[in-house]
Amino acid sequence: LNRNIKKKNQYVGFATLPNQVHRKTVKKGFTFTLMVAGETGLGKSTLINSLFLTDLYKDRKVPNAEERIGQTVDIVKHTIGIEEKGIKLWLSIVDTPGFGDAVNNTASWKHVEDYIDQQFEQYFRDESGLNRKNIKDNRVHCLLYFISPFGHGLRPIDVECMKALHEKVNIIPLLAKADSLTHAEAYSKKSKIREEIKQFGINIYQFPECESDEDEDSKRQEQILKDSIPFAVIGSNIQVESKGRKFRGRSYPWGVVEVENPIHSDFLLLRNMLVRTHMQDLKDVTRETHYENYRAQCIQSMTRMMVQERKRRWVEPGPPPTPGRRRPLPLRKMQEVLERIQEQMQQSQRGSC
């Protein structure tokens, strides 16, 4: 009895910390930014609507063939609030209409790359500012890259685009319109695409390794995800009826395709991975890897330029500094240095392309 009383008296209470973090996080809500890229007609809009049970493209106008000849890549962002069981998610979808549709697609991915860099730059500025309480995180956490099912693997534009972006964003390749392929064709194309991704040195999103204490079912699910890349997907916003059941799918003369049937496509695998199991890991990799690489480059460039400015004695007029002490650059000058760094980084990136 005395031993039990002693144990109760030894309870401090920090075991409730996870509950405190949970309450605070739920109250604040979550944000996630998803970008989609791929040529017109691969079902990007339909898949996004199917994934999140919403309609983001009510007023969309599809350009005709003549309009697409000289079309440039646009960046269109949609933000919606989704609530499920008291959990709020602010979901931002960044679409890239016009990607890969022009006659000359040279460097058509540059608009996508610039947008990702701009979000890094804005976050870096906000993080380096005086008021850091309410920083908005608009960094792109995931890029769904749609691959056409009608070719023999990756096209040159697919290779160049993913190579230009793979160090900046988590790329998840998708094999679009899987209902146009037989099971054998889908398996063959997946194997071909995986081989080419490895051959060209493209670093797509890597699923985290399972911990040693996780159960066998979790390890099996992780292996299924790895073997399913690229996900063969189908999207539909239409309810069809078959054998007394209603479901989202597509009706063909030879039968009905169910969007959420794992035999027909990898739609469920993709949705579960994006929302239920790996959304936080995608955000963590963005913060700890992609953004940190960008931030390190900025700081290195800033340090280099500040040293050069000191050598040129580029300081505001004033009394000479005390011997042995360096006069710090004024805040305004540091801001100018930062802006010059951003310009130089953008120019060097254009030159590398």
Sequence length of the chain is: 353
How high is the pLDDT of residue 314? 47
- Average of per-residue pLDDT across 319-343: 57
Domain count, the chain: 1
- Residue environment code for 302-336, b if the CB has 16+ CB neighbours within 10 A, otherwise e: beebbeebeeeeeeeeeeeeeeeeeeebeeeebee
CATH code of the domain containing 54: 3.40.50.300
274 in any annotated domain:
yes
Q: Is 180 domain-assigned?
A: yes
Distance in angstroms (rounded) separating the CA atoms of residues 178 and 298 = 42
What confidence tens digit (pLDDT) does each residue in 53-105 have?
776 655 555 555 444 544 556 788 888 888 777 788 888 899 887 776 665 66
- Contacts made by residues 206-210, CB under 8 angstroms, sequence distance 24+: 207/278, 208/278, 208/281
Instruction: Give the predicted TM-score (pTM) of the model.
Output: 0.79
**Is residue 341 in a domain?**
no
Within a domain: residue 12?
Answer: no
Residue 254 forms part of a structural domain: yes
Q: Are 210 and 234 in contact (CB under 8 A)?
A: no
> Could you tell me the residue range of the domain that residue 32 belongs to?
20-298
pLDDT of amino acid 130: 74
For the cut 80, the answer to whether the pLDDT of residue 125 exceeds it is yes
Residue 111 lies in a domain: yes
- Domain-located, residue 304: no
Q: Is the pLDDT of residue 8 over 80?
A: no
Asked whether residue 346 is domain-assigned, the answer is no
Closest CA to 290 of 143, 147, 160: 143
Q: Which of 282, 295, 289 is nearest to 140 (CA)?
A: 282
